[in-house]
Structure 1
Amino acid sequence: MPARRMSTERLHLTLMLILTFSTGVVDAVGYLGLDRVFTGNMTGNVVLLGMAVAGGDDLPVLRPALALLFFMVGAALAGRALRKAPSGWSSATSCTFAAVAVGAAGLAVLLALVDVTADEVLGSVVTSGLALIMGIQAGTAKRLAIAEVTTVVVTSTITGLASDSRLAGGKGKHWVRRALAILLIGLGAVAGAFALLVDLWVGVALSAVLSAVVAGAGHLRHRQDRHEQRRKEPALAS
């Protein structure tokens, strides 16, 4: 008897959890390897900027500000690209996630070939580029609307896990995916930190591979679902 295929909804959840892990990797690379910049978690950048404005010693300003700006640009680009796309996964969704993979791969190549830590401008280009693709990722994930998984932040996820728990008198809805999202972004940060022990480009390359897997798997299921729907239509018509 053939193995039962994973449902499309569960597959999409799995893919978004993979991207959550990937965000942890990229944020670790940005914060530990590129002058304390969060390229996925914009809350962190806002806090850093606030402390820097208040006179915090040796806190970066330019790169977090640029990351915040380019993240918003990336999210806006994703919103524009998906504005007329149907709900759920579509060809446009595959393209935006593929753009994230290509962008991350390009930045990984740059990091492998050039010592960007020695050049202020190149370092800012890399952190801004990472923020741009993370914005595209976040904007696309938002459109997919997988409950409790944004791929870039887990503060609301932690809040929901606690406030909806049985300890708080709730029913614990979505506790598994919430817990997994929190765990995976943390594990991604661990992986990103270890990747830095090899070289700066390794973590970004890992993120590129994961994004490519997500784009490919999602697109393949999208095509399969469309094919099955087309097969059903003649039967329903008759």
Structure 2
Amino acid sequence: MSPTDRSPSPLPMLLLLLLTVTTGLVDAISVLGLGKVFTANMTGNIVFLGFAAAGTPGFHPLSYVLAIGGFLIGAFLAGRTGKRHEGRPLHRWLMTAAVVEAALLWAAALVSCTFDVASQSPDTALFGIVVLTALAMGFRNATVRQLKVPDLTTTVLTLTLTGLAADSSAAGGANTNWARRCASVVAIFLGAALGALLLAHAGMAVPLALAGLLILGGTMACALHPAYRQSIPV
């Protein structure tokens, strides 16, 4: 049985929606600030890597390889972290995940202080930000996946939008989780818009630092819920 089966409110929707907002922030930073690379959405990187392999100008394979590699390592570490927290209170696991993710994003914010977006230099800073944010997003994805909350993956909306249309009353469905699905779409839209504005007017460090703050602060607030005191089943 997953943690979400143990309580009527094992993971408040507001927390997952807040995490979805931070995904929009990170995507805005990576796509607009790091030269066409996703660090939260690996589908885009696979497509871009294909473009680069075909010799299409403007696509740099190393960024995509580093993003995918960082994401996989982050997901691996999150999987190990989840296993190590079996039998322990849920709030400890979620706080550990939040601290790791926030620390990685704050480290990326520090590195970004040495990075010039206009010239995309130096390369060491560019690749450092890519790896750090990809590690954070891989860790996030694997943690949320283990929590098994439907229609709130916090990073990918393709299946969410598919379900919204396919399960609609117009398609003969029951409008399953329509409010949650719509909220997820709005959350990532708002995060992306906010990230773009902050990147343009305040630089890269500010939205990265804000994303880490929202993740850690939101998780700390939600960890006070009694459901988080229950143990994760082994």
Query: Normalised by the size of structure 2, how large is the TM-score?
Result: 0.87
Counterpart of 1:144 (choices 142, 147, 152) is 147
Q: Name the SS for the 1:9 alignment partner.
A: coil
1:13 & 1:49 partners in 2: Cα distance? Answer: 34
Query: Normalised by the size of structure 1, how large is the TM-score?
Result: 0.86
1:200 paired residue number = 204
Alignment of 1:159-170 (within 5 A): 159-170=162-173
Q: Name the SS for the 2:175 alignment partner.
A: coil
1:105 & 1:42 partners in 2: Cα distance? Answer: 21
Matched residue type, 1:163 = A
Contact 1:21/1:186, CA 8 A, preserved across alignment:
yes
* In the alignment, structure 1 residue 19 sits paired with structure 2 residue 19: yes
Change (3 A) 1:8 1:111: farther
1:218 paired residue number = 222
Q: Which has the higher helix share?
A: 1
2:4 paired residue number = none
2:3 paired residue number = none
Contact 2:10/2:227, CA 8 A, preserved across alignment:
no
- The number of equivalent residue pairs is 220
Change (3 A) 1:68 1:25: same
1:139 & 1:97 partners in 2: Cα distance? Answer: 12
* In the alignment, structure 1 residue 49 sits paired with structure 2 residue 49: yes
Matched residue type, 1:75 = A
Change (3 A) 1:43 1:10: same
* In the alignment, structure 1 residue 89 sits paired with structure 2 residue 93: no
Contact 2:151/2:177, CA 8 A, preserved across alignment:
yes
Superimposed CA distance per residue, residues 98-120 of structure 1 (whole angstroms, 9 cap, x where no aligned partner): 110121122212223x1253211
* In the alignment, structure 1 residue 67 sits paired with structure 2 residue 71: no
Matched residue type, 2:222 = G
1:56 & 1:202 partners in 2: Cα distance? Answer: 32
Matched residue type, 1:56 = T
Matched residue type, 1:179 = C
Contact 2:111/2:125, CA 8 A, preserved across alignment:
no
TM-superposed CA distance for 1:30, in Å, is 0.4
Contact 1:73/1:132, CA 8 A, preserved across alignment:
yes
Structure 1 outlier segments of 4+, above 6 Å: none
* In the alignment, structure 1 residue 132 sits paired with structure 2 residue 135: yes
Change (3 A) 1:224 1:25: closer
Please, which runs of 5 or more residues in structure 2 have no aligned partner?
1-6
TM-superposed CA distance for 1:224, in Å, is 6.8
2:174 paired residue number = 171
